[in-house]
Each structure stands twice: as C-alpha cells, then as structure tokens.
Chains A and B, each alone.
Chain A
Amino acid sequence: MKVAVLIKQTPDTAELPKVSPEEVRSGDVKATMVINPWDEYAAEEAIQLGDRFGASSVAISLGKEGETDALKHALAMGVNSALLVDVEAAREGDVWAVATALAAAVQHEGDVDVVLTGKMSVDGNSGAVYTGVACKLGWNLLVNVTKIVDIADGVVTAERSFEGGQETVTMPLPVVISVAKEINDPRYPSFMGIRKASRAKIPVLTAQELGLESIPRAVRWENLRKPEARHTEVQIIEGETVEEQAAKLVDALLAEKVI
C-alpha cells in the first residue's frame, strides 16, 4: 500500500497578521514558512499507516524550487520520501488549479491507494483542495476523519465527524482523506529523521513533465485588502467590589442588546 500525503508550506501562524495584501498578490510572502499545522496530522497519520499496514509514504507539496522546508519537516517526522511539484499555473489561488496539479502529481507517483491531507491551510483557508483532488482523480472522498479504524480488502473503515456528530463509515479505495486534529498527536521530528531530511535531495516535478503548462482558471482574486481595523476603545469597568463591577457590566451588555 502506498500513501501520499499532501503538504503545504504556510507562514508561521504568529506571523500571519504581518502578511500584506501585496505579498499575497505577488505570491512572495515574507514570513517564516513552516508546514501547515493541519497537515502535520496528515503526515503523522501517513507514518502510522506505515506502521500499521506496511504502507510506504510520500509527501507531495506544491511550490517553487527550494520551497522544501515543509517537505523536509515531513521527512524528518518519518515520511518515506518527498516530491516537490513546481507548477506555475497552479499558483494563482484557484483551488481547482492547485487540485489539478496535485492530482497529476499523485497519478505521476503511481500506485497510490490513499491520499491524506489536513482539513485546510492556515493561509488559503479554503478546505477545498482535497475535494478537488478527489474529483480530478475520480476517487472517493472522506472528510474530517478522526480515526482510520482499518484498511482491509480494498476498503477503508473510518470515523468522521461533522456538526451532527460522528459516523463510522466504509469506503472503497482509492480514497482521498482529509484528517481532523483529533486523529492523532503528531510526533516531533526525530534526530535520525532530521539527519536524513537535511541531506535529502528532493526531486522536483515540473509543469512540463505533468503537461500542465496552463490550467484553466475559474475565479479571480481581486481587491486584496486588510480587514478594516476594529476601532474599539475598551471601557474598563471599575467598581468598589466585584459585585459592583458585575452589575455595571451586565447593565452595559443589556444596553448593547447582545443578551
């Protein structure tokens, strides 16, 4: 069995507020780049599927040459190999273009039974890429999976959660799975993994190799901007006693009509 784990390199969450609309537009975001926090759970699950079912794993990321920190993190955690997909046409924020490129890379890799990925990226926030990958590959899709119970006889049994609760379902392979945070506790990279990752030469798959020099686009991002700053002047509720403060705060909130 082979598992592909889709990984995105995203800005460190503490630095997201510093990202400017201009940087987003040009695609040249100046921030400390790390593995998308949600994708760490997918990488961990890929490694665990390796331990449980003898699956081999490959981490795949879309990015420019040299954008390999997230892939190296996955390697250092213990994912078996890594692949960088450098497709310029997939860089303009169109989720289907991204999905097209990633699906092509999965196909190029060959023999993949399970694609794993995080529930969304902390920058694009779309949570739609994996849906697109499943659609482009023509594979089944399981979303927000909190536990992979078993994979046997070409069928995966999994628990997934949604607003209405939790369901245990079966789905035939091949399947794309987005994982939720509850699924595992991602390990830290090991020292052995770090040694291996820091020396790894990560192969690059180009648009030419995938035949994706151009990808039709469905949406355009316009008028990128910072949200209007919230102008609040905090009103500190003073009082002789905590009861007095509580009474004043309740007065204020009742007047705001938010209760």
Chain B
Amino acid sequence: MSVLVWIEQIDGQAVHSSWEVLGKGRELADSLGSPLVALVVGHGVEAVAEEARGYGPDTVLLADDPALERFRLQPYAAALQEAIRRADASVILASATTNGRTLTGLVACQNQAGLAPDAVDLRIEEGKLVAVRSVYSGNILSDIYFDTDQQFASVRPRSFPAPEAGEAQGAIQPLPVPVDEGQVPEKILEVKPADTSEISLTDARIIVSGGRGVAKDPELGFKLVSELADVLGAAVGASRAAVDAGYIPYKHQVGQTGKTVKPDLYIAAGISGAIQHLAGMGQSKVIVAINKDPDAPIFERANYGIVGDLFQVLPALTKEFKKRLGKEEKE
C-alpha cells in the first residue's frame, strides 16, 4: 500500500501546487503507515524528480520517454497505471489543475475506483482516504467516503500550505512505460506557451481585482489595478460584470463562472460583491474592499474596507506599498 502523488510538470517546470499535494501526501502516508511515492512523467525531467526529493517522498518514480514529453492523456494514464501497480498505491493524488483533474479522473474510472475531484481537504479514517469537497459553488461541503480499494482525489490549489523544500530523500527510480508513439491517438501540432510573466490566479498569493467600479474609465481603472498588482507581485482578477462589459479578458474572471481562488490577500476594487463573485473568492485569507458604496455586500465579507473612489485609493495604495516595500524609484 502507498500514497502516490503525480507531480505535474509543464515544459520541465514542476507545477507549484503539486508540492502542496506532496506535502499533504506525507501526512496521509504517515497516518496510514505506508510509503509516499511521487511520480514524475516527462522527457528529460530529472531535475523535477530531483526537486521532488526535497519534499519528503520515500520514492520518486520517473517515467521518461520522448512520447511523454508533453501531457497527453492516453500515455500519461498508462504511466500512472504503471506507477500504481509498481507502488501498489491505494491513495492516488494530484493537484486539481486541468490535467490533474483529467488524469486522476480517467485512471480512477478505468480502475472502477472512487474519485473526489477538486477536494479541499483530505484525511484518513479507518485506513482509507476521506476527502472534503466544496460543491454548489462553495455553498455546500461534503465528506466523500470511498467504497473502493483505490481512492483517487485531485486537490484544489492552495488547499494546503506549500511545504518548505528540505533535505533530499528517497531514491529516484526509473519507471519504464511502454509507449508506442504510433498507438497514441493524440498528436500535438502546435504549442503556444502561457505568458510566464503573468501570475496565474489560482496559484497567486495575492490578487488585485477590478469590477464595474472602473466604468468611468475602464482602461485607466484596470491600469491602476495592474500597477498595484505589479508592486505586490499579485495576479490581476476581475468580476464578471467587468468581463461582460468587455473591460478585461475572461481569463481574469473570478467567481462562479470564472476561477475559484484562495489567495492570502484579495483586494477587491470597485466590486460590489455579487453572490457569484463571493463564491469564487470568499475563502481568501484576508479580503480588502475598496468601494464608493458603504452598503456594498463586499464589505460584509471583507476584513478591511476603504469607502472611497478606486481611482484615488489605488494610486495611493500603490505609492504607499512602493515606499514600504522599498520599491520606490530613486529620483
């Protein structure tokens, strides 16, 4: 029996939230009294496997093959199946990224095993995994108990703290996966990498979001939002109203039909706090609301509020943070 965690890599870089899962995996493995195994799949990704050793696994399985260079469901599922067999894994975890959700889903279904997608908490009861899911867009929690020997879960990013990298441990073991490129149905024709200068909303520790309050001058409004975000190393978010009005692209949308986020700090500027938006960011650790209207529902969820015009408050905040964080331009 073991706990197996898939460490996702994109272009040779580990996906940060995978470490959160691996860290939690250590805890689960300890309470099961079973080993923790990390799985790295790719081509020429020894560095990722080496990095994984720093987060406490007993073994790191490394499936390396040219056919595995980029994520494709069918060969990656074959690799995960092989790893499950090799590690005799009973608890199989991944971060709930697009690929993590799909991979755990397919392999669980193939094995007729239970799946808890996008879990927000995990624990062990009576030798089995129990997952907590947040459903109805954050309005209902449920414990998921498994009736199957294998228990799969994907874990929502930022559900667990990212562990500090420690002393490397565990051995890297190669995991041969017989992949015949001719048998892989999916062919990748073209790759457009994500803009790496942009911080992803789901991974962000800090998010600065703008809403309909920018309507007076949407371009300037989001420029001010971005400037504050830059100073804080934060991601830029937006309410659906701002996206629908065409102020900013959809990929920035936070909320029920956008992204669900859980940063340490969420700064909502000119966002009234519609139920659908709160569903997407209500779990943030500290929420700051900037709004002209003191009765805006966002203030009921906020820890700190400034009643005022974002066009004045944001530049003042940016300036103040620059000063305090020592980022002030020298004159």
Residues of A at the B interface (CB closer than 8 Å) are 11, 13-14, 16-17, 19, 21, 24, 37-38, 95-96, 99, 122-128, 131-132, 134-136, 140-144, 157, 161-172, 181-182, 216-227, 230, 232, 234-237, 242-243, 245-247, 249-250, 252-254, 256, 258-259
> In the bound complex, how far is the Cα of B98 from the Cα of A19, in angstroms?
27
Give the 6 A-B residue pairs with the shortest CB-CB distance, closest first: A164-B10, A218-B114, A131-B105, A246-B316, A135-B109, A165-B194
**B114 pairs with A226, CB closer than 8 A:** no
> In the bound complex, how far is the Cα of B278 from the Cα of A14, in angstroms?
11
Residue in B70, B139, B141 whose CB lies within 8 Å of A19: B139
12 contacts between A and B (CB under 8 A): A16-B137, A125-B134, A125-B137, A131-B105, A161-B98, A162-B98, A163-B98, A167-B189, A222-B145, A223-B142, A230-B282, A242-B312
Residue in B114, B187, B303, B317 whose CB lies within 8 Å of A250: B317
Within the complex, the shortest CB–CB distance from A146 to chain B, in Å, comes to 10
Main secondary structure of the interface of A (DSSP, over half): mixed
> B305 on the interface (CB 8 Å rule)?
yes
**A21 pairs with B140, CB closer than 8 A:** yes
Query: Could you say which residues of chain B place their CB within 8 Å of the CB of A169?
Result: 186-189
Within the complex, the shortest CB–CB distance from A61 to chain B, in Å, comes to 19
> B81 on the interface (CB 8 Å rule)?
no
> B91 on the interface (CB 8 Å rule)?
no
Docked complex: B82-122 residues within 8 A CB-CB of A: 97-99, 101-102, 105-106, 108-110, 112-118
**A253 pairs with B304, CB closer than 8 A:** yes
Docked complex: B175-203 residues within 8 A CB-CB of A: 185-194, 200, 202
Within the complex, the shortest CB–CB distance from A195 to chain B, in Å, comes to 29
**B265 pairs with A140, CB closer than 8 A:** no
Residue in A136, A223, A242, A252 whose CB lies within 8 Å of B308: A242
**B136 pairs with A16, CB closer than 8 A:** yes
**A221 pairs with B143, CB closer than 8 A:** yes
> In the bound complex, how far is the Cα of B101 from the Cα of A25, in angstroms?
25
> In the bound complex, how far is the Cα of B146 from the Cα of A17, in angstroms?
27
Count of chain B residues near A, Cβ 8 A:
90
**A226 pairs with B139, CB closer than 8 A:** yes
Residue of A nearest to B249 (CB): A182
Query: Could you say which residues of chain B place their CB within 8 Å of the CB of A216?
Result: 112
Mark contacts of B309-321 with chain A using CB atoms, 8 A cut-off: 1 yes-contact digit, 0 otherwise.
Answer: 0001100110111
**A131 pairs with B106, CB closer than 8 A:** yes
Residue of A nearest to B276 (CB): A13
> In the bound complex, how far is the Cα of B142 from the Cα of A148, in angstroms?
36
**B145 pairs with A220, CB closer than 8 A:** yes
* Given A127-B101, A256-B286, residue A246 in contact with residue B313 (CB < 8 A): yes
**B138 pairs with A227, CB closer than 8 A:** yes
Within the complex, the shortest CB–CB distance from B97 to chain A, in Å, comes to 5
**A126 pairs with B303, CB closer than 8 A:** no
Within the complex, the shortest CB–CB distance from B131 to chain A, in Å, comes to 9
Residue in B187, B312, B319 whose CB lies within 8 Å of A170: B187
Within the complex, the shortest CB–CB distance from B231 to chain A, in Å, comes to 10
Within the complex, the shortest CB–CB distance from A194 to chain B, in Å, comes to 23
* Given A127-B118, A249-B317, residue A237 in contact with residue B137 (CB < 8 A): no
Mark contacts of B127-151 with chain A using CB atoms, 8 A cut-off: 1 yes-contact digit, 0 otherwise.
Answer: 0000001111111111111111000
Query: Could you say which residues of chain B place their CB within 8 Å of the CB of A221?
Result: 142-145
Within the complex, the shortest CB–CB distance from B270 to chain A, in Å, comes to 15
